Amino acid sequence: MNASHDESVPADMAPLADAAVAAARRAYAPYSKFHVGCALRTMEGNVFVGCNVENASYGLTICAERNAIAAAVAEEGAGMRIAALAVWVDASETFPPCGACRQVIAEFAGPDVPVLYHAAGRAPVRTSVGELLPQAFRL
C-alpha cells in the first residue's frame, strides 16, 4: 500500500494524519480492498485510532471513523468530545467520510471541529464537521 501522507498536510493535523495512515495499514478489508484509517484527538488530548473492519456479510462492516470513536468512548467515557479528526484512504483519490460516519462524528463534535481527509499523492482536504453535515440531526 502507498503509505505516507502528502507534505501539504497542515502542521497542526500532521500527527493525526500520520496516525490515520498507520491505522489504515491494519484495516481488515479483504472484500473492498479499500483500506481506511482514522485518528482523532479528544478534548482531553488523547489520540485514538480506528480502521475499517469488513465482514463476509457485507452489511456488518464498520467504518474506520466509527471504530475510532468507539475506542475513544470506551476509554474516556460518555463525555468524550472530539477536538480534531483525520481520515486516510489507501486510494488514488480522496474520499470524505460516509454519511453514517458524519452523523456519528457530529454526535461527539461541534460544527467547528476540523476534519482532514487525504489519500496518497492527492492534496489533503481540510474541512469541518459542520461543513460535512450541516443541519445535523440532534435530540
Q: Binding of ligand THU at residue 106 (CB under 6 A)? A: no
Burial class (CB in 10 A: 0-12, 13-18, 19+), 59: exposed
What is the spatial distance between Cα 120 and Cα 6, in angstroms, rounded to a whole number?
Answer: 7
Residue 76 annotated as catalytic: no
The distance of closest approach from Cβ of residue 81 to ligand THU in the complex, given in angstroms and rounded to an integer, is 20
Does residue 71 interact with ligand THU by CB under 6 A? no
Q: Which is nearer to ligand THU, 85 or 101 (CB)?
A: 101
Please give the angle made by the CA atoms of 59, 23 and 124, to the nearest 5 degrees. Answer: 95
Measured CA to CA, the distance from residue 83 to residue 116 in angstroms comes to 12
Q: Does 55 bind ligand THU (CB under 6 A)?
A: no
Query: Interface residues with ligand THU (CB under 6 A)?
Result: 29, 32, 34, 36, 52, 54, 61, 63-65, 97-98, 101
